[in-house]
Every structure is written in structure tokens, then in C-alpha cells.
């Protein structure tokens, strides 16, 4: 299709969009009485309107049943988390038993490192991407130090080539081959938070496994955004937050994937707690841990039901739409945003550059040349909620659930106006 930079064309795309009605299923912040243009689903997704119903159900059960809600609530609390496994399995490309929900993302990654980073005197190095998200940098450094190792020696970063804004898969594979028998763990963010690049997870996982390393992924920016096949790719473990593209609310619970081959092992190293024991004998209070035969064996505490309710609500929307339809719209709306950006760049003499490669999901990262924070502030002050990253990048993530093509056109007009204002 030949795109056009016009309001009428954008509205035509919205009329043809099979997901357009889902926009009405979300609450939007308002600007001058109208919905904002919301580009930060990669940071915090909007609230689905059905979320309140799911939370109210838990609150009402608590009010009327008290502790009996654990077993007699409409959705009993003691196994509430299990309801999320099946829909999450579809989104993550996992078997139901390979998925659980617990804690928050960095907590879960630390817990998973207990099981999957087992350094020896010869195999101890971790491979990650250059300038990973700070939480990942901190947890990897602290895990290495916990084992008495020096991060300067044990942590190896794959760097971008000089003058490029993205990583090349061949450079990651070369570094894996170079480290060889020294490599204990490959751990990378599946979608980079800064430039929006989607890594070739299947190829990198296979390469890591071929030299005997364990492979794990931080999928914070991937879950609900891109197609995943964690089971088929033979990924050892992964974790993700739920509040970005999955719209479960600020700081909410994290999902975990543990490959089937690691399940049902009594001697698996992990930190253990009561809720990871077999359901059938849990209330017998046995002194010896008997792990669930699923990823739930990594559960430590009983599920935070009030946190899981919004996640379950959002997953019902994913069930109704399906990832294939979301990805189809994602590709089209991001392509239209890219077109709009390129058209505006022509009109204002190329004052910015898209640094996101073609291997991408929802996000486009725009590097400003000759413009800076004042342009971002102009957009924010005119009803655009975007994200600023130092030194000079605006991140734009048009989530397909609730962003419209008209949003993309109107953003382009505001961007043009903001640039021209800064030039005056």
C-alpha cells in the first residue's frame, strides 16, 4: 500500500483496522478534553477498562469471605496464578507447565540465576549486550560478585560496530564462539529498550547451546510485542514484566519461563518456599520440599492476588485478539509512523534519524540532530506522551491495542510544528 501523509488517509486506515474498536477498551489520559497520543506502552501500558471489574471481584470476595476466599472465592486465591499460565503460554510460545507468574522482574531474574548461573573454575563467563538495561547490568554484576568473581573478567559485552546504532547477529555469534568453553551463560534483552532492536533469539540460543552454555532472556520489551517460541527455540529460562505491552499496571507481577527439560527435578538448585511444593501435600506441612512438576516449583510465596487480577484482565483481551492479529497491526502502524517521520524529515530538512533497525517490534527510536530536550518538552506540552532517553533520543511505541493511525498523522503534524518552533 502506498501511504499518504494526510488526515483522510489515516482515518481510512482506522476504518479498515479490525482492531480499532479495542481502542475503546482502554482508559486514556486526557489533554484539553481529548485522548493524548500515547507512545509509552513500552514503559507502561494503558489501563484496560475491564481491570476494575477483576480487582473489584477480589475485593468483594475478601470483604464477604475473609480467609475462606483462598478456596471459596469466585476464582479461588490459592491457585489464582495458574489461570494466567495458559494464555501466557500462547503469547510466549511455551507449554502451560513452563510458565508461572510471581514476584517482579529483577527479583525473578535473581532467583533464576540461582538455578541457571552455576559457574565453575573454567566455565564462568556471562555474555550480554553492551549497555544493557541498568537493572540487568546491576543484577549480573552482583551475581558474579556473589560467586566471588570479578565482573571485569566474568562479564563480556557484545558491542555495536563503530558508527552503528544496532548489534549485528554475526558479532554475537562470533563472541560466543570466541568464549567457547569459558561461557557459562548467554543473557541478553530480547528487545533492546533503547533502540527497539529485536535480537535473533533463535539463532543466538542455538549458538549458546552449541558451546555448552545456558541461555536466558530478559523479555521485558518482548512480551506481548513480538512473536516468541521459547519452547521450540530451546531457551533455558526467561522472565518479563507485565506492565509494558501487557497492560497489567505499574510495577506489576513478572512472568517466568523455565524449559520443560528443567522441570520435575528434585535436585535442581533453587531458592525454595512453601508455594513451590506439590499442591496435593502442601497443607501436610512436610519438612522436606517436594517440587511441583511445573515452573510453579520456583514459586516461593503465595500469589499476590490483587496484583494478578489486572494481569488476568489484560490477558483476556490478548485471548480475544490473538498475537497474530496484534503483530499484523503492529507492523502496519509502525510502518506508517516510520513513513510519517520520513515525510516530516523531508519537510524540515532532516533534523532527526530513526536508529531502530528493521528487526523491530512496536518501538521506533528517533535520534535528534540539532534538536534536543526542548522539542520533547514541546510534544509533551501538546498532548503527546513519549519517552526521552539520554543523550538525544525520543522513543515512540504505538501499541496496536489502542493506538490509531490518526494518532500517527497528528503526531507528525505536532512534530513538524515543534521543530519549526525550535528553529525560530
Are 208 and 288 part of one and the same domain?
A: yes
pTM greater than 0.85: yes
Count structural domains, the chain.
2
DSSP 194-256: TT-BBP-HHHHHHHHHHTT-EEEEE-TTTTTTS---TTTTT--EEEE-SSSTT---TT--EEE
Are 209 and 342 part of one and the same domain?
A: no
| 237-240 and 254-258 strand pairing | antiparallel
Are 186 and 64 part of one and the same domain?
A: yes
Cell of 245: 505491552
Q: What percent of the chain has pLDDT over 70?
A: 99
In sequence order, what are the beta bridge partners of 257? 99, 238
Q: Is 209 inside any structural domain? A: yes
Q: Is 218 inside any structural domain? A: yes
Are 346 and 208 part of one and the same domain?
A: no
What pLDDT score was predicted for residue 109? Answer: 98
What pLDDT score was predicted for residue 203? Answer: 98
Q: Is 44 inside any structural domain? A: no
Q: Is 46 inside any structural domain? A: no
Q: Are 393 and 366 in contact (CB under 8 A)?
A: yes
Q: Is 40 inside any structural domain? A: no
pLDDT beyond 70 at 424: no
Residue 415 belongs to domain with CATH number: 3.90.1150.10
pLDDT beyond 90 at 153: yes
Are 260 and 348 part of one and the same domain?
A: no
CB atoms within 10 A of CB 67: 9
pLDDT band at 415 (very low <50, low <70, confident <90, very high): very high
Are 252 and 304 part of one and the same domain?
A: yes
- Each residue of 317-340: b (16+ CB within 10 Å) or e? bbeebebeebbebbebbbebbbbb
Distance CA 98, CA 96 (A): 5
Are 309 and 338 part of one and the same domain?
A: no
Domain closes at, from 274, 296, 321: 321
Residue 274 belongs to domain with CATH number: 3.40.640.10
What pLDDT score was predicted for residue 327? Answer: 98
Question: pLDDT tens digits for 209-262?
Answer: 999 999 999 999 999 999 999 999 999 999 999 999 999 999 999 999 999 999
Distance CA 301, CA 142 (A): 23
Are 103 and 247 part of one and the same domain?
A: yes
Are 340 and 263 part of one and the same domain?
A: no
pLDDT band at 65 (very low <50, low <70, confident <90, very high): very high
Are 298 and 366 part of one and the same domain?
A: no
Domain closes at, from 321, 345, 360: 321
Are 304 and 327 part of one and the same domain?
A: no
pLDDT band at 349 (very low <50, low <70, confident <90, very high): confident
Residue numbers of the domain that contains 246:
53-321
pLDDT beyond 90 at 423: no
Calculate the average pLDDT of the chain: 96
Q: Is 170 inside any structural domain? A: yes
Domain closes at, from 321, 338, 357: 321
CA angle, corner 359, sides to 357 and 361, nearest 5? 105
Are 83 and 203 part of one and the same domain?
A: yes
Question: 51-65 and 305-321 are packed helices; what angle lies between their axes, rounded to 10 degrees?
Answer: 140
Q: Is 262 inside any structural domain? A: yes
Cis peptide before 391 (omega within 30 of 0): yes
Q: Is 48 inside any structural domain? A: no
What pLDDT score was predicted for residue 321? Answer: 97
Amino acid at each position: 500500500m502506498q501511504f499518504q501523509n494526510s488526515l483522510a488517509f489515516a482515518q481510512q486506515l482506522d476504518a479498515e483496522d479490525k482492531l480499532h474498536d479495542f481502542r475503546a477498551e482502554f482508559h486514556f489520559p486526557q489533554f484539553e478534553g481529548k485522548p493524548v497520543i500515547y507512545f509509552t506502552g513500552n514503559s507502561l501500558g494503558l489501563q484496560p477498562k475491564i481491570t476494575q471489574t477483576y480487582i473489584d471481584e477480589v475485593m468483594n470476595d475478601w470483604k464477604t469471605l475473609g480467609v475462606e476466599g483462598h478456596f471459596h472465592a469466585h476464582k479461588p486465591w490459592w491457585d489464582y496464578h495458574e489461570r494466567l499460565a495458559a494464555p501466557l503460554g500462547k503469547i510466549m510460545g511455551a507449554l502451560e507447565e513452563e510458565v508461572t507468574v510471581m514476584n517482579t522482574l529483577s527479583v525473578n531474574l535473581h532467583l533464576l540465576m540461582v538455578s541457571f548461573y552455576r559457574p565453575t573454575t573454567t566455565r564462568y563467563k556471562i555474555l550480554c549486550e553492551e549497555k544493557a538495561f541498568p537493572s540487568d547490568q546491576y543484577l549480573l554484576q552482583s551475581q558474579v560478585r556473589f560467586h566471588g568473581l570479578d565482573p571485569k573478567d566474568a562479564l563480556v559485552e557484545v558491542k555495536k560496530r563503530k558508527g552503528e546504532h544496532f548489534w549485528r547477529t554475526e558479532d554475537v555469534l562470533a563472541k560466543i564462539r570466541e568464549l567457547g568453553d569459558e561461557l557459562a551463560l548467554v543473557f541478553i534483552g530480547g528487545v533492546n529498550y533503547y533502540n527497539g532492536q529485536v535480537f535473533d533469539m533463535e539463532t543466538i540460543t542455538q549458538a549458546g547451546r552449541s558451546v555448552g552454555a545456558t541461555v536466558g532472556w530478559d523479555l521485558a520489551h518482548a512480551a506481548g510485542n513480538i512473536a516468541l517460541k521459547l519452547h521450540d527455540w530451546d531457551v533455558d529460562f526467561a522472565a518479563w514484566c507485565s506492565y509494558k505491552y501487557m497492560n497489567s499496571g505499574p510495577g506489576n507481577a513478572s512472568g517466568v519461563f523455565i524449559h520443560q527439560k528443567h522441570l520435575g527435578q528434585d535436585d535442581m538448585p533453587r531458592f525454595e518456599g512453601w508455594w513451590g511444593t506439590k499442591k496435593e501435600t502442601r497443607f501436610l506441612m512436610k519438612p522436606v520440599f517436594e517440587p511441583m512438576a511445573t515452573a510453579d516449583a520456583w514459586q516461593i510465596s503465595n500469589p499476590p492476588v490483587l496484583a494478578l487480577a489486572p494481569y488476568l484482565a489484560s490477558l483476556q483481551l490478548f485471548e480475544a485478539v490473538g498475537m497474530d492479529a496484534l503483530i499484523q497491526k503492529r507492523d502496519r502502524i509502525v510502518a506508517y509512523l516510520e513513513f510519517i517521520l520520513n515525510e516530516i524529515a523531508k519537510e524540515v530538512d532532516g533534523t532527526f534519524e530513526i536508529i531502530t533497525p528493521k528487526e523491530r517490534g512496536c518501538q521506533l527510536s528517533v535520534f535528534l540532530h540539532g534538536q534536543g530536550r526542548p522539542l520533547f518538552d514541546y510534544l509533551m506540552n501538546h498532548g503527546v506522551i513519549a519517552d526521552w532517553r539520554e543523550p538525544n533520543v525520543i522513543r515512540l511505541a504505538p501499541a496496536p491495542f489502542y493506538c490509531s493511525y490518526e494518532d500517527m498523522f497528528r503526531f507528525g503534524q505536532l512534530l513538524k510544528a515543534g521543530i519549526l518552533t525550535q528553529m525560530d
